Amino acid sequence: MKWENRNVHRDVAYFYIGLIIAFSFSGIILNHRADWYPMDYAYETKDVQLELPSDKNAIDSEKFIKGISEKWELDAEYDSHRIRDNELRVFYKDNIVLDADITTGKGVVEYKRKTPVLGQTMFLHKTTNKFWIWYSDIFGIGMLIIAFTGMFIITKGKNTFKRRGWKLALAGLVFPIIILILFS
């Protein structure tokens, strides 16, 4: 096999095609996670009413949270909680979440599951497993190889990188830079 841009480009792309597809799907889904998040979809919900203490600071205690959890017999182990504005969110092991308004006491307990296949691809996108991080870094290098070898596949004619491709590459770089400047 000759060491040419076309051969390297093709073979690295073939090797990573599965990961390219998985990362593309999960990246699109992560971009829209506010609307749909297949890592956690609710398959059962239960409306609940909190009995709020007179001291609102007591709501932010693990003792209070564990007390309401036992009352509802969730059969779930407390993991953590947070309060933002007037919203209490309690996380339990086994993918159970309580969302409640701490001014009215109204809340919903959601029992969640992963969407098959899509939820797993999102795990690949978000995991911090050391082996996977190294593999993803190597994948990143592979994507750079695909990009750079792709720029120089055509070496003659009007569609070369030198004559036309650099303009498209520059346009592709300008858009993310503008977004970073405006929104970061």
CB 43 within 8 A of CB 113: yes
DSSP state of 40: S
CA–CA distance from 128 to each of 92, 107, 123, 135, 163 (Å)? 21, 32, 9, 11, 42
- The whole-number pLDDT of residue 74 equals 66
- The whole-number pLDDT of residue 141 equals 93
**114: phi then psi, degrees, rounded to nearest 5:** -90, 145
What is the residue-level pLDDT of the chain in tens, covering all 184 positions? 566 878 888 888 888 888 888 788 777 877 777 777 666 777 788 898 888 887 777 777 788 888 877 776 666 788 888 888 889 898 888 888 889 998 898 999 888 887 777 777 777 777 888 998 898 889 999 999 998 888 878 778 887 888 888 888 888 889 889 988 998 7
Residues 140, 134: Cα–Cα separation, whole Å: 10
Q: Is this model's pTM higher than 0.85 or not?
A: no
**The pairing of beta strand 78-84 with beta strand 41-49:** unpaired
Element (H, E) at 47: strand 41-49
- The whole-number pLDDT of residue 169 equals 86
Q: At what angle do helices 5-31 and 130-151 cross, to 10 degrees?
A: 120
**64: phi then psi, degrees, rounded to nearest 5:** -60, -45
**177: phi then psi, degrees, rounded to nearest 5:** -65, -40
- The whole-number pLDDT of residue 2 equals 60
Cα 140 from chain centre: 17
- The whole-number pLDDT of residue 159 equals 79
- The whole-number pLDDT of residue 1 equals 55
Burial 41-72 (b: 16+ CB within 10 A, else e): eeeeeeebebebeeeeeebeeeebbeebbeee
Residue spans of alpha helices (H) in 32-98: 62-71
DSSP state of 58: G
Strand partners, 110: 45, 97
- The whole-number pLDDT of residue 19 equals 83
